[in-house]
Copies of this chain bind each other. A is one copy, B any other.
Amino acid sequence: MALTDPDRLFPTDPAVRDRARALYDSVRDLPIISPHGHCDPRWFAENARFPNPAELFVVPDHYVFRMLVSQGVPLADLGVPRTDGGPIETDPRQIWRRFAERFHLFRATPSEMWLNHSFAHVFGLTAALSAETADATYDRIEAQLAEDAYRPRALFERFGIEVLATTEGALDDLRWHRMIRDSGWAGRVVTTYRPDAVVDPEFEGFARNVEMLGALTGEDTTTWAGYLNAHRTRRAFFKDHGATASDHGHPTARTENLSAAEAGALFDRVLTGEATADEADAFRGQMLTEMAKMSLEDGLTLQIHAGSWRNHSAQVFAAHGRDKGFDIPMRTDYVAALKPLLDAVGMEPDLTVILFTLDETAYGRELAPMAGAYPALRLGPPWWFFDSYEGIMRFRESVTETAGFYNTVGFNDDTRAFCSIPARHDVSRRTDCAYLATLVATGRLNERAAFEIAHDLTYRLAKEAYGL
């Protein structure tokens, strides 16, 4: 049995499946537009080989290690560093074996599909991963990683990536992006402005970060005006390194639109480090509106990724730090939360604010009705846990009737797992084509339009929404 079924994710009715395949065939080879993700720009700057199979597929992938943890494997046994520097597994083959033995845990998950796609289409494997095949698989991948054809730039080209956006903090020096640009390599890798560390009063070292922001920009960031100017300066610096968007990951979608005096007073308060949780939330909310206003000036697209309870397990956070698979979605309100921002700039036709959610109940109830009315709003694709066949299908079924296709923005892979990029875009293309084929087969869309939309969802809308 092949690792990937050529007709995977298509509808089961034979006639509808044929339609879906025809639509998919029309978009399968389009270039990949990846306007939001977390790849490391250093890969493309240095173009060094990837270290080993475990470092490529297990250790950095929270989708993978969280599932192993959920069945009792300690993070340390998977090579995930400890904050106290204590002992962890250092043998990549050992890590790989632990993963391979438990590969059945991923059955019917997107991770399985992404991994099998990578194994088959990037590394040419044919045997299913298991305890039995663990070593042979390891050896095969390891051998290929040593080849030049498996270096980051070669894979980038082979994957057909037209543009890849990474995400950097506001204080980042963007050296890797400069190095890529200066190298003369033709691959287009751009940055994204992600200022959480200087915008979120509850971020570790916030006050110091704001000070560094001042030092970097020559602005007096102890004043509200200077702080805002510093953002303007950094945004321009990021734009100069290709950025076409900013990104904001807040616990809630709260926005505020305070007067300059009120905002300044709130800024003074959060700088003291003594702000309440509510004041911190208000400040983040104010900054979303400030960023939207700056977007009106400089044209950057604004992305809002709200609703994750980060680092939910105190024990895991203490032992291993951030981003270890324990970020849990929360119920998220958008209707009241976004009103201040929308009253300020929601009717601006030249602004693009892209909303992401981890609360699928908001799709049809809140997000589609808002994006189907406010010119500044667009709906981002399913995010994180919902970047999957069922997730994408629920998204389309929930939002299309109210917001149409043209208030959505195509696909984001949003990944730091480089080899999964083609797999993820493939899942998205297939699922969208399955959805479109079903619409045609049920008389809800004409066939010509379906082909046009397939192209738009795969290629055009992402480029337009992100100004790429």
The reply to whether B1 and A447 contact each other, CB–CB distance below 8 Å, is yes
Closest-CB distance, A375 to chain B (whole angstroms)? 5
Contact among B12, B343, B349, B359 for A72, CB-based, below 8 A: B349
Question: Is the CB–CB distance between B372 and A386 below 8 Å?
Answer: no
A333 to B331 Cα, complex, angstroms: 8
Complex Cα spacing A349 to B342, Å? 46
Q: How big is the A interface, by class?
A: 35 or more
Copies in the complex: 3
Knowing A371-B70, A374-B70, A402-B385 are in contact, say whether A313-B347 is a contact too (CB < 8 A).
yes
Give the chain B neighbours of A15 by CB distance below 8 A: 12
In the complex, A8 has a CB within 8 A of chain B: yes
User: What is the CA–CA distance of A386 and B446 in the complex, to the nearest angstrom?
Assistant: 22
Given A313-B373, A373-B66, verify A446-B104 contact (CB < 8 Å).
no
Cβ B108 vs Cβ A400 within 8 A: yes
A401/B405 contact (C-beta < 8 A), A374-B313, A385-B369, A443-B8 known: no
Proximity bits, A340-384, B CB within 8 Å = 1, else 0:
001100110100000000111100111011111111010000000
A214 within 8 Å of B by Cβ? no
Distance of A430 from chain B, by nearest CB (Å): 9
Please, how many angstroms separate the alpha-carbon atoms of A439 and B443 in the complex?
21
A144 CB-CB contact with B under 8 Å: no
In the bound assembly, the distance between CA atoms of A205 and B22 in angstroms comes to: 59
A109 and B442 in contact, given A329-B365, A373-B69, A373-B326 (Cβ under 8 angstroms): no
Decide: A406 and B71 in contact? CB cutoff 8 A. Answer: yes
- CB-defined A-B contacts under 8 Å, sample of 28: A4-B443, A8-B442, A12-B13, A12-B16, A70-B373, A70-B407, A72-B349, A72-B375, A105-B406, A107-B445, A108-B405, A109-B401, A110-B401, A313-B347, A314-B343, A315-B343, A316-B347, A327-B369, A328-B335, A329-B365, A330-B365, A359-B365, A360-B365, A364-B386, A389-B401, A389-B442, A389-B444, A390-B398
